[in-house]
């Protein structure tokens, strides 16, 4: 059977390895596996969310309220926007997919930082579009603008990941607003704020305001997620905030019932539990310092991170694939960044006890080099 | 902001109204609303599924095992195929989306029955493809073949919905196999078996065998779902079974983590609870007879149904929109088929008690005409 030509050339996203795989392949007991590979919340989900899931378990047969009235209302009131400025996705990924499908085709292109979230490029390739990247790995707004100006007719979508996954660096909000002002009204500027809560907690200058963004720019799509600080990685709920005209177009590409009934209930409950969010942010900040101290002690190069992970850049003889494999055999899953073209690893910031285990095990491995 | 031209012309799927909307708009108490509009399982989910959800609620922060090792293994063993012949989707809808995206473009077309599941045409329009339909509302294989032969170079995908949603009629398995033999190897034949368990229970000649299909035809994609007889409508889990070459292509278009952690656990548990499935099938068959009796008493025209719903074709002065509205005010949600171009309503077969309420309320309304 023949398929559209572009399908043959697509590459798949390389996800963090699941706990189940380590159990199956290395025979390690499930409770002994520590997964710090996918930036999930180390405190799990809040008790309020667990209660909501348990209470709604008997409704699993019912399709969700596809208007998502309550969730959109709660997000609208949190951000001071209208429900009509919001779209919900199965993770913010899905909103990226809608946006690219709406804007791109084989004659168009996206622009992004040299090393950033892989799904931007993957979804662009589903639309047969070209991907422009800066030579700088981290976000370099001057270089982004230079490339944009050189290919203004071709570039339809620009991505800023604030803070950047998988590197951890973070643009100031003011710099983002200024950049938005330099972009044509017909170029969609996607601001991926999946980890922005962590950045804003560390430094108020990093806090993005979606209301201000959509009031001032007709071409901005702000993306948030419940997968990280809200602890709902497994429930697949993200949101997009944008001017109505953009939301209306994305809605036309949204399949009905794109999140589950329990995901909807979980997200509504998660939004209400601000104490859990604060606890998660505080733990992350405190434990991030310990990771930085550990890196300095071990002479590991790290990128100061504004997210809930830290990226170590390795130098020979240290090799990221080998290091990940050695940790895996000891039941610790971290993220190899080789698929991003880097000899580097990304580790999710865990709880104090989880991190103690990482420092102990990793320190032992490193002492062998 | 300008979007791709096709986006402007897209229409949205009109879903069954959610219970929450009736509560909000008509002030009816939630527990008094009876939803028989979306063919959900009237027994809800099985207790085994509820237990699995409750047990996994504390894992909601963890991304699912994206290999879906256990679920694909269980489906493979149920159908006697290999796990490599299986793809999991967020509902079988999503697999339709992958398939059409892989096969279609603005120069291609799909072929389907005159009245069938709306999402085929909607996803085709996302690919800017044309939709050919038979003049017959129900599946007419001779007419399908005639149109196919007239547009063989253009038609890349053919849909058979067995049994057909929203009408309820059902092709014999033998007729489906024979039809598959008349289709070019490069034309994808999608056999949507979302309701096939109900048909097979009523009449063994309707039972489709995915193993036999993929052994004999290189171009067949069989679709099943957990949303109907398995009682997981709100969890969004469907599956596709096809030769490996097709599955490999669809996988390239699958976003990572396309079902939730709890959906995965729920589907695994649902597959094991055969007693719940049998109870659901028996209830459906017994209650379907009562609906047919009711229709005869009321002189309502109905299509003999092989699914878990029944479709009444109305004649003036009866109007489907008016009838749905009258039921809605009394807390009963059924499905208006006006968006399919029919003066007809589709009612999900409920439990005995639910159906008693429908017969009473509907009988009362009809006596006013």
A-interface mutation test, from B10, B37, B40, B60, most A Cβ less than 10 A away = B60
Distances (CA, A) of B190 to A153, B222, B246, B281: 39, 6, 11, 25
B17–chain A nearest CA distance, Å: 8
Q: Tell me: do A25 and A62 sit in the same domain.
A: no
For all residues of chain B together, what is the average pLDDT? 96
Residues A77 and A162 in one domain: yes
- As a whole number, mean pLDDT of residues B276-295 equals 98
Neighbouring C-beta atoms of residue B295, cutoff 10 Å: 15
Does pLDDT of A56 surpass 90? yes
Helix (H/G/I), strand (E/B), else coil: B349: coil
Q: What's the confidence (pLDDT) of residue B315?
A: 96
CB B84 within 8 A of CB B270: no
State residue A8's pLDDT score: 86
What mean pLDDT do residues B81-94 have? Answer: 98
Return d(Cα B62, Cα B57) in angstroms, integer: 10
CA-closest candidate to residue A260, choices B277, B258, B228, B75: B258
Give me the pLDDT at residue B24, please.
Answer: 86
Contacts of B67 in chain A (CB under 8 A): 18, 20-21
Task: Give residues with Cβ within 8 angstroms of B50, minimum separation 6.
Answer: A57, A58, A60
Predicted pLDDT at B19: 86
pLDDT surpasses 80 at B215: yes
Would the pLDDT of B17 be above 80? no
Same domain, B97 and B112: yes
Cβ of A12 within 8 Å of Cβ of B263? The answer is no
Interface check for A181 against chain B (CB to CB < 8 A): the answer is no
Residue B14 has pLDDT above 80, yes or no: no
Q: Is A287 on the interface with B (CB under 8 A)?
A: no
What local confidence, expressed as pLDDT, does residue B21 receive?
Answer: 84
Spatial distance between the Cα atoms of B316 and A293, rounded to a whole number of angstroms: 79
Contact (CB<8Å) A252/B7: yes
What is the enclosing helix (H) or strand (E) of A309? strand A309-313
A113 lies in the same domain as A127: yes
Q: Which of A233, A254, A273 lies at the terminal end of a domain, its last residue?
A: A273
Q: Are residues B124 and B245 in the same domain?
A: yes
Same domain, A133 and A32: no
Q: How many beta carbons lie within 10 A of that of residue B336, not counting itself?
A: 25
Contacts of A333 in chain B (CB under 8 A): none
Residues A87 and A229 in one domain: yes
Q: Mean pLDDT lowest for which of A78-92, A237-251, B15-29, B285-299?
A: B15-29
The CATH number assigned to the domain holding B346 equals 3.90.1150.10
Chain A, residues 57-76, CB within 8 A of chain B, namely 57-67, 69-70
Find the residue in A nearest to B250 (Cα). Answer: A7
Contact A162, A208 (CB under 8 A): yes
Domain boundary among B209, B238, B273: B273
Residues on chain B touching A186 (C-beta within 8 angstroms)? 1-2
Nearest chain A CA: its distance from B297 CA (Å): 31
Q: Is residue A102 within 8 Å of residue B4, measured between CB atoms? A: yes
C-alpha span between A320 and A317 (Å, rounded): 10
How sure is the predictor about B20, in pLDDT bands with cuts at 50, 70 and 90? confident
Cβ of B20 within 8 Å of Cβ of A65? The answer is yes
d(CA A101, CA A83): 23
Q: What is B220-251 written as a DSSP string?
A: EEEEEESSSTTS-GGG--EEEE--HHHHHHHH
Q: pLDDT per residue over B289-306, tens digit each?
A: 999 999 999 999 999 999
Question: Is there a single domain that holds both residue B154 and residue B267?
Answer: yes
The percent of residues in chain A predicted with pLDDT above 70, rounded, is: 100
Tell me: do B140 and B158 sit in the same domain: yes
Instruction: Report DSSP letters for A314-340, one per residue.
Output: P-TT--HHHHHHHHHHTTEE-EE-GGG
Which ranges constitute the DSSP H helices of B151-301? Answer: 173-181, 196-202, 210-216, 244-252, 261-272, 274-297
Boundary of a domain, candidates B223, B250, B273 = B273
For residue A110, the cross-strand partners are A131, A157
CB contact under 8 A, B235 and A260: yes
Per-residue pLDDT, A11? 79
3-state secondary structure of B296: helix
Q: For A343-354, what is the mean pLDDT?
A: 98
Domain that includes residue B206, residue range: 47-273
pLDDT score for A274: 97
Residue B243: phi and psi, rounded to 5, are -55, 150
pLDDT of residue A25: 86
Residue B121's CATH number: 3.40.640.10
Is the preceding omega at residue B317 within 30 degrees of 0, hence cis? yes
| Residue A17 confidence (pLDDT) | 77
In sequence order, the 6+-apart residues with CB closer than 8 A to the CB of B188 are A1, B99, B103, B156, B157, B158, B219, B220, B221, B246
Q: Give the number of other CB atoms < 10 A from CB of residue A137.
A: 20
Cβ–Cβ below 8 Å for B249 and A91: no
Residues B220 and B172 in one domain: yes
Q: pLDDT, tens digit, for every residue of A306-322?
A: 999 999 999 999 999 99
- Could you give the angle at the alpha carbon of A200 between the alpha carbons of A83 and A348, nearest 5°? 105
* Same domain, yes or no: B223 and B361: no
Residue B347 DSSP symbol: E
CA–CA gap between residue A200 and residue A208 (Å, rounded): 8
For chains A and B, CB pairs below 8 A equal 238
Confidence of residue A259 (pLDDT cuts 50, 70, 90): very high
Per-residue pLDDT at B18? 82
* The dihedral sign for the CA sequence A309, A315, A316, A317: negative
Is any Cβ of chain A less than 8 angstroms from the Cβ of B105?
A: yes
Q: Pairing between strand A301-303 and A309-313?
A: antiparallel
Contact B60 A53 (CB under 8 A): yes
Please identify among residues 39-58 of chain B the ones whose CB lies closer than 8 Å to any CB of chain A: 40-41, 43-45, 49-50, 53-54, 57-58
Count how many domains chain B has: 2
ipTM summary value? 0.96
Least confident window among A29-33, B108-112, B255-259: A29-33
Chain B environment of A12 (Cβ under 8 Å): 251-252, 256
**pLDDT at site A93:** 96
Tell whether B232 and B289 lie within a shared domain.
no
CA distance B365 to chain A (A): 27
Quote the pLDDT of residue A12: 73
What is residue B316's predicted lDDT score, i.e. its pLDDT?
A: 94
- Helix, strand counts (H, E) of chain A: 15, 13
Hey, what are B14's tokens?
């009109």
3-state SS string over B142-158?
HHHHHHHHHCCCCEEEE
CA distance B34 to B335: 12
């Amino acid at each position: 059977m023949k398929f559209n030509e572009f399908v043959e050339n697509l590459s798949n996203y390389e996800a963090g390895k699941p706990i189940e795989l380590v159990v199956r392949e290395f025979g390690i007991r499930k409770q002994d596996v520590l997964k710090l590979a996918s930036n999930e919340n180390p405190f799990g989900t809040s008790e309020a969310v667990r209660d909501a899931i348990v209470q709604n378990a008997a409704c699993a047969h019912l399709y969700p309220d596809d208007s998502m009235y309550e969730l959109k209302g709660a997000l609208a009131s949190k951000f001071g926007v209208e429900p009509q400025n919001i779209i919900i996705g199965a993770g913010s990924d899905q909103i990226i997919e809608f946006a690219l499908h709406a804007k791109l085709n084989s004659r168009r292109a996206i622009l992004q930082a040299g090393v950033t979230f892989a799904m931007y490029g993957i979804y662009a390739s589903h639309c047969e579009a070209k991907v422009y990247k800066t030579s700088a790995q981290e976000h370099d707004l001057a270089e982004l603008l230079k490339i944009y100006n050189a290919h203004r007719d071709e570039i339809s979508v620009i991505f800023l990941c604030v803070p950047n996954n998988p590197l951890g660096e973070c643009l100031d909000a003011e710099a983002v607003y200024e950049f938005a002002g330099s972009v044509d009204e017909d170029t969609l500027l996607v601001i991926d704020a999946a980890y922005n809560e962590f950045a804003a907690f560390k430094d108020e200058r990093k806090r993005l305001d979606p209301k201000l963004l959509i009031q001032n720019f007709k071409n901005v799509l702000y993306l948030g997620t419940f997968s990280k600080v809200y602890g709902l990685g497994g429930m697949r709920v993200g949101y997009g905030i944008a001017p109505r005209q953009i939301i209306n177009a994305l809605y036309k590409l949204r399949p009905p019932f794109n999140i589950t009934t329990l995901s909807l209930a979980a997200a509504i409950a998660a939004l209400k539990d601000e104490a859990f969010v604060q606890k998660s942010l505080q733990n992350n900040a405190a434990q991030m310092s310990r990771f930085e101290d550990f890196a300095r002690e071990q002479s590991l190069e790290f990128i100061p991170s504004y997210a809930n992970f830290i990226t170590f850049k390795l130098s020979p003889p240290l090799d990221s694939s080998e290091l990940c494999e050695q940790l895996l055999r000891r039941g610790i899953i971290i993220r190899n960044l080789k698929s991003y073209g880097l000899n580097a690893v990304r580790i999710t910031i865990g709880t104090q006890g989880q991190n103690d285990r990482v420092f102990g095990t990793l320190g032992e491995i490193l002492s062998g080099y």
